[in-house]
Structure 1
Amino acid sequence: MIKRFPLLLMIAVLLVSFMIQPRDISAAEVDIPAESAILVDAETGKVLFAKNADIALPPASMTKMMSEYLVMEAIEEGKITPETTTQVSDYAYEISANPEYSGIGLTQGKDYTVRELYESMAIISDNGATIALAELVAGSEGEFVKLMNQKAEEMGLPDYKFVNSTGLDNAHLGGNHPEGTDPDGVNLLSARSSALLAYHLINDYPQALEVSSQLDINFEGHYDVNLNWMLPHEGDNFRDFYYEGIDGLKTGFTELAGNTFTGTAERNGKRLISVVMRTDSKEARFEQTATLMDYGFNQFQTKELFPAGYQVEDQQTLPVTKGKEDEVAISISEGFTLPIKAGDEELYHIEYEINKDRLNEDGEIIAPVKQGEVIGKATLVYDGEADYGYITPGNNSVDLVAETGVEKANWFMLTLGAIGDFFANIFTTAVDWVKGLFS
């Protein structure tokens, strides 16, 4: 037995290693009871899972992701700084003092810095702090709401409507709904739009994650913990929800919206964004987020499927007219790299779309052609059963370029070619006429 022990140990290790390998599961097997959900790769924008992701639903305090973005943008543009101070209006104070809403209760007549208000908004979802920031950035919450909708359009959010900066129902604002909005209006976002908003926030302003990952806040003499239970909080109340790599992003709850959560986590250099909307409880939104994250991290690996310079077989060249060469080599300008499931490598191919303005009626590209000139686009196509696409349009396409240049032929060669074409056409016409006599 002593002699056989190393062999037995090796067999045991191999068996255990085999047993803990992640099972290759399909998206259909991912059980997400939320009414709407989505999972996105944060680098490429590739959608890895979607369930009713295009239904517009109330996002509750996930609305504040847009408020965070606009505050960050105002800082970047030099309109305010983190140390800029402001005081809270009667409206912001009234909302902050309401114990039914998220917040710690701000003080009137006191100067608060943008940093303090932003942290209160991002960490414990303080509604009064959010309104104070909206009024500081735009002059009024009504004007801030206009900025929110304008920015949503710029980002290309497919489904959105912003009526206030906080995510509360307008009907709950005590008659203080922003000017120009419906007194009974509610914010609306689809899971896809929420994920795209988060995508822009963390890619354009990664410092937002430094705040959203803070475990707690000590402000105005009050100590509160981050509403994101998936962070590494201490204590038994949160231990069951901790998820390695999680560092954001925004929770939400209203009676109409239910419990919502936009989460993001990074492991081994790969970041994912998930959204769950209308879950049954606070616990459920974190449990379902963990399910989505596990699916993304365990089942997908980021691979370069086609490198820059790749040429599709039998489409390596294009015919050239009026040039010193009769053809030009073409290839993709950038590689296609994306997260894929094991075994899916062979389910992708590339399709070309040539810019018709560069071609004559015979499908020939007209010289001169510059090296590196964009002559069309190459699109990555998935041949499998379910493809959820990308969070942003165009992420699956790159430029199709000329690998070498082709100079325009000189006038003498062009003239000889034209003469040759002339007599060739006469000969062809004559042959056709003769054939017609005997037909």
Structure 2
Amino acid sequence: MNMIKFKHFHKSKLVYRVTFLLLSCLVLFAPMTAYADTPADIANNDGYSIDYKYNPKGDVVISAYNGQILYGYNIDAKWPPASMSKLMTLYLLMQEMDKGKVTYKTKVTVNDKYYGISKLPMLSNNNFRKGATYTVDELIQIMLTASSNSATFMLANLVDKDDSDFVDLMNRKANELGMTNTRFYNPAGPPNNLLLQYKPKRYLQDDDNISSSRDFAILCQHLVTEYPEILKYTSKVNVTVKKGTQDQETFGTYNHSLEGAKLGYKGVDGLKTGSSDTAGFNTAITGKQNNMRIIQIMLGVEDWYDPPAEFNRNKMANAIMDLIYSKYAYKKVLSKGVHKVNGKEIIVFNDLYDIVRDGQKGKLIYKNGKVHYEYDREFISKDYNAPTVKYEDYEKYKTEQFFKHNLWWIVMVSIFSIIAGIFLLIYYFRPHWFKSVKMICTQKYQSLVKWIKNKRKKD
């Protein structure tokens, strides 16, 4: 009996040791982007006092530069983005404007449909007047700052007049970008049932648009890098449109982390918030400090009827940005010029910059003419990788440069050498040709000299 107990004791001890070892390995080798702390933890560590009931459903921070995940919390949790859906409408509009058919000066008139949407209850809208005319420039500002659903439909219909076809386009674009957890039912983002008769005809379900923090980070990264001019709209704390007319309206931002806003954070200049009774409070934030632009997506701070939730969203977002800027930096990891790698000289054509975590060791990888900085990290999707710069064998490069800069002289010398070689061959095989030529040249020369002498005597 004692022997059985002894064996059982040692077996338990062995299991404990193995378990401890495995857990230690997990902690040691876990990706640096996997944080154990929740957004509420981070905010409280940063000096706020946030109840854990305000933890969002999902949150992610990425580098706009390379799509690297800098912080993640339930980043694939599906949740309604609410009015942040308007960012996809904006992206499609910007792509349409690239074609040149729509410009910032293009005008849109408020018709019965847009007027009707502006009067729907429980929606983010402004006071549109039937027959009033707005430019695309004005409508973008109204859509982003006032979160106007009516303005959103007006812009969406510049891309496609049929609302259902436009939502098809939204979903195709989401799939193209790799937003695998995203499904749109309308261009603006409110619960579909609140649009009443204005729901897209092929999307009549009483559903919310659905997405995830990861998916919206992908979308915002494309927006910010491909169309940085949108930040002139999203960076405004207060805006007035149609100033001095009967349609003048003034709007204030809902992005409380915007620099200059109630919970303003240094460097924040966009993007968009979203809220509803089903979504709670969401936010898409972008900002830049020390040449490093980050994007944060926070979804599902609840609930919509709880006044502190709206501002706790931004307190947590700000605390997370504090953490990111303290841990990561945009740095030069390799200078352009000549370097010795494995005993061989190579030339790097541009400085290599990357997002580097404080205290994280990495190494430079040279492969197939490109060099990148490698360390343990994750990216928002398979479409993103560590930035690279080109390199080449230095001796080969010097040879190429010599021929590039001296090509004209090389060609001229080659031509002269070929001609000289031809003459030498002729002289070797047909020397009498040269005697005849010499005789003719001598006679011509003597005739010329004689003519000159006679000319001088006459003068």
Would you say 1:83 and 2:105 are equivalent positions?
yes
1:236-257 C-alpha deviation (Å, 9 max, x unpaired): xx63x12121111100012222
Residue 104 of structure 1: how far off its partner (Å) = 1.2
Decide whether aligned partners of structure 1 residues 64 and 229 sit closer, same or farther in structure 2, where only a CA change above 3 A counts.
Answer: same
1:294 has 2:287 as partner: no
1:28 aligns to what SS in structure 2? coil
What TM-score does the superposition give when structure 2 sets the normalisation length?
0.66
* CA distance in 2 between partners of 1:349 and 1:183 (Å): 52
Q: Is the alpha carbon distance of 1:218 and 1:377 closer, same or farther for their aligned partners in structure 2, counting shifts above 3 Å?
A: closer
Q: Helix, strand or coil for the counterpart of 1:207?
A: helix
Pair 1:222 & 2:249 matched: yes
Determine which of 212, 222, 236 is the counterpart of 2:234: 212
Alignment of 1:22-421 (within 5 A): 27-29=35-37, 31-32=39-40, 33-219=55-241, 220-233=247-260, 239=262, 241-280=263-302, 281-307=309-335, 336-344=352-360, 346=361, 348-350=362-364, 375=368, 380-383=373-376, 387-390=377-380, 393-396=383-386, 398=388, 403=393
Separation in 2 of the partners of 1:122 and 1:242?
A: 18
Shift of 1:352: 6.7
Structure 2 partner of 1:324: none
**Measured at CA, do residues 295 and 331 of structure 1 come closer, stay the same or move farther in structure 2, by a change above 3 Å?**
same
**Within 2, Cα distance between the matches of 1:89 and 1:115?**
18
Check conservation: 2:259, 2:267, Cα contact below 8 A.
no
Distance 1:188 1:81 in 2: 30
Q: Using the TM superposition, give the Cα deviation of residue 306 of structure 1 relative to its aligned residue in structure 2, in angstroms.
A: 4.3
Contact between 1:300 and 1:339, CA under 8 Å: does it hold in 2?
yes
Identify the range of structure 1 (284-293 vs 124-133) with the bigger mean alpha-carbon deviation. 284-293
Contact 1:332 1:398 in 2 (8 A): no
The CA distance in 1 between the partners of 2:56 and 2:65, in whole Å, is 25
Q: Which has the higher helix share?
A: 2
Using the aligned pairs only, state the percent identity. Answer: 29
Is contact 1:46–1:338 with CA below 8 Å preserved after alignment? Answer: no
Query: Residue 189 of structure 1 aligns to a residue in which SS?
Result: coil
The 8 Å contact of residues 390 and 396 in structure 1, kept in 2 or not, is answered as no
Post-superposition shift, 1:106? 1.3
State which structure, 1 or 2, has the greater radius of gyration over its C-alpha atoms. Answer: 2
Supply the AA of the counterpart residue of 1:28: A
Distance in 1 between the 2:56 and 2:192 partners? 25
Give the letter for the 1:275 counterpart: I
User: What's the secondary structure of 1:261's corresponding residue?
Assistant: strand
**Cα-Cα RMSD:** 3.0
In structure 2, relative to structure 1, the CA distance for the partners of 1:312 and 1:284 (3 Å cut) is farther
Distance in 1 of aligned mates of 2:215 and 2:228: 19
C-alpha spacing 1:292/1:391, structure 2 compared with 1 (3 Å)? farther
Question: Matched residues in 1 for 2:86 and 2:95: separation?
Answer: 14
Contact 1:93 1:106 in 2 (8 A): yes
Task: Name the CA shift for 1:388/1:397 in 2 (closer, same or farther; >3 Å).
Answer: same
Question: 1:397–1:210: structure 2 CA closer, same or farther, 3 Å change rule?
Answer: closer
Partner secondary structure for residue 40 of structure 1: strand
Q: Tell me the distance in 1 between the aligned counterparts of 2:328 and 2:100.
A: 40
Number of aligned positions between the proteins = 340
The amino acid of 1:147's aligned partner reads: L
Q: How far off is 1:57 after superposition?
A: 1.7
Q: Give the secondary-structure state (helix, strand or coil) at the position aligned to 1:164.
A: coil
SS at match of 1:165: coil
Say which SS state the counterpart of residue 118 (structure 2) adopts. helix
Q: Secondary structure at the match of 2:179?
A: coil
Unaligned runs of 5+ in 1: 1-24, 318-328, 354-374, 408-439
AA aligned opposite 1:396: A
Shift of 1:390: 4.4
Deviations 1:260-279 (A, max 9, x none): 00011122322111111001
Is the contact made by 2:354 and 2:386 (CA closer than 8 Å) also made in structure 1?
no
Deviation for aligned residue 1:85: 1.3
CA distance in 1, matches of 2:165, 2:387: 37
- For 1:120 and 1:232, how far apart are their aligned partners in 2? 19
* 1:149–1:161 CA contact under 8 A, matched in 2: yes
For residues 349 and 175 of structure 2, the distance between their equivalents in structure 1, rounded to whole angstroms, comes to: 29
Q: What is the CA–CA distance in structure 2 between the aligned matches of 1:335 and 1:104, rounded to whole Å?
A: 48
Distance, in Å, in 1 between the alignment partners of 2:95 and 2:355 is: 30
Larger mean CA deviation between 41-50 and 298-307 belongs to 298-307
Q: State the shift of 1:162 in Å.
A: 1.8
71 and 331 in structure 1: CA distance in 2 versus 1, 3 angstrom threshold: same
What is the SS of the residue equivalent to 1:248? strand
Partner AA of 2:318 in structure 1: A
- Give the aligned partner of residue 419 of structure 1: none
Q: Give the stretch that moved more between structures: 279-288 or 332-341.
A: 332-341
Q: Is the 2:104–2:135 Cα contact (8 Å) retained in structure 1?
A: yes
1:20-66 CA distances to partner (integer Å, 9 max, x unpaired)?
Answer: xxxxx994346342110011122222211011112232111111111
Deviation at 1:151, TM superposition (A): 2.5
CA contact (8 A) 1:45 1:392 kept: no
Q: Specify the alignment match of 1:12 in structure 2.
A: none
Stretches of structure 2 that go unaligned for 5 or more consecutive residues are 1-32, 41-54, 242-246, 303-308, 400-459
